[in-house]
Amino acid sequence: MGELYDRMARDLKLRNVAERTVERYLKCCCDFVRYSRKSPLELGEAALKEYLAQLQANGASPEKLKMYVAALKFLYGTTLRRPEVMAAIPFPRVPKSLPVILSGSEMVRLFEALDSTKHRAVVLTTYGTGLRISEVCSLEVGDIHSRRGLIHVRDGKRGRDRYVMLPPRVLLALRTYWKEERPTGPALFAGQQPGTCIAPETVRRALHEAVQKSGLNKRVTPHLLRHTFATHLLELGTDLRTIQVLLGHGSIRTTERYTHIRADKLRRTTSPVEVIGTEKGRRALG
C-alpha cells in the first residue's frame, strides 16, 4: 500500500487504537490490495463486496469477516475520506455463544501444572483479577498498591484507567516471583529483552503446556481465565455492577450511568482466587 499504508497507520495511532488492532487492520487492508492488485483509490463498493464474499466462500469465520469490514471501513471512512464506499456494507452478525469456563478444581490443577514461578504469577494474576492478558503483561511495579489492596490498570481498552482488587493470594504469588527473579526494569513481568514486558503469546504457550500436563480436556486461553473469573464471581454472589467495573466493560457513559463503585468496595470484593481449593470453594465452584 506504500504511502497509503503509512497514512492509515498514522490515522490509527492518532485515534489511540491498540497496537494489536493497528497491526490487524493494516494486515486486512494489505490482504485486500494483494487480492485486488489495484490501489484502494481505484476500487469501489463492488470490489469490496466481491472480496468479502471470497473470504466467506473460503471459510472465514464471522469474527474474521467482522475484522476485515472494520478495517476497510476505517480505511475508506477515515484515511481516504470516502465513507460512502462502505456505507452499504454492514458488519456481519456474529453468533453469541456462551464461553466454556473452568471449575474451581480445574483451576487448581492448572496452577499446579505451571512449572515457572513467573508464569504461575501471571496466570494467577489474570484469573484472580479478571484483567485482559495485554493488561497483565503491561503491568508495572508501581501499579501494585499492596497496602491499599488494589492494582492500577493503566491505559486499558479504549484508553481507560481503572482499579481492580489485589487479592492476598495474588500478592503472595507476586512476592514469591519477585524474590526469585528480581526484575530490574519498570515492567512487573519482564520480557527476554531488556526494557520489555512478557509477551501475551508466551503466556498462551505456557497455558497450553500446563493444560497438556494437567490432563484438562479444554482449550484454555488467557481470555478464558477472564470469563472464568467473571462467572465465578457471579456464583460467589458478587453483583453485576461490581463485575462490570472490575472487567472494564462498556463505554464510560454506560459505566457512569449504571455503576458507581468506590475503591473501598472494590477492595472488599472477594476474588474467587481466595476460595478455590478450600471447602467453601469446592461447595460454590466445584
226 is annotated as an active-site residue: yes
Inter-residue contact 114 to 210 (CB < 8 Å):
yes
132 is annotated as an active-site residue: yes
**Residue in the structure block whose three cell numbers are 453485576:** 240
182 is annotated as an active-site residue: no
Estimate the crossing angle of helix 117-129 against helix 200-214, to 10 degrees.
100
Q: Which three cell numbers stand for residue 185?
A: 526494569
Helix or strand or coil: residue 119?
helix
Catalytic residue, candidates 82, 157, 227, 282: 157
Which residues lie closer than 8 Å to 101 by C-beta, 6 or more apart?
224, 227, 228, 231, 232
249 is annotated as an active-site residue: yes
Catalytic residue, candidates 82, 109, 213, 223: 223
| Dist. CA 52–CA 73, nearest whole Å | 12
Catalytic residue, candidates 10, 160, 258, 268: 258
Catalytic residue, candidates 49, 249, 257, 268: 249
Q: Which three cell numbers stand for residue 100?
A: 466454556
Catalytic residue, candidates 73, 118, 119, 132: 132
Query: Which pairing describes strands 162-165 and 144-145: parallel, antiparallel, or unpaired?
Result: unpaired
Helix or strand or coil: residue 224?
helix
223 is annotated as an active-site residue: yes
260 is annotated as an active-site residue: no
Helix or strand or coil: residue 18?
coil
- Catalytic residue set: 132, 157, 223, 226, 249, 258
